[in-house]
Amino acid sequence: RSLGTTDDTATLDSRVGELQVQLDRAHAQILTADMVRKELEDTLEAEQYTWELRVQDQERQIGELQADCQELSREVESTRAQWKEAEDSWLRGKTTPRSLAGGAKDNDDTTSQLQQKIDALERERAELQGCLDEALKELEAVDEELKTNGGSTTQGAAVE
């Protein structure tokens, strides 16, 4: 048999054609996979940037809340000091017995006002502390998610 027969040539041409189609398909799959990988990388990069902005915003908010808490703590301490001073003054009896009746009412009003202010400041401080705690938890969750996403992205890229 000679290699130049028409049947042999047609068989070889057919086989070469099949292999060329398979090669073209494989090449198309590679290009598609590369496009998907690039799209996923771009999406990941955008999400990381978004999370970084969120983390920065949360850190800024935490700083503001901490400053507010410190200011409220100072106000509470100042109010307590004023209250203690007013209470000591009243107990020392700086007022005469005659003015004590009128002064007692003023002191009661002042004491009541100071107590109300202290209560309001303590409630506000507790609320701000709760917000601060919540913001810290969110920041920790975001940080953990960034760590988790960073690790899974690396593994996902290696698999492809």
Burial 123-140, CB ≥16 within 10 A → b, else e? eebeebbebbeebeeebe
What confidence tier does 116 reach under pLDDT thresholds 50, 70, 90?
confident
Contacts 24+ apart (CB under 8 A), 152-156: 153/44, 156/40
Euclidean distance between CA atoms 101 and 9, whole angstroms: 125
Which of 14, 118, 121, 32 minimizes the C-alpha distance to 68?
121
Residue-level pLDDT at 156: 44
Q: Which amino acid is at 159?
A: V
Write the pLDDT tens digit of every residue in 20-73: 999 999 999 999 999 999 999 999 999 999 999 999 999 999 999 999 999 999
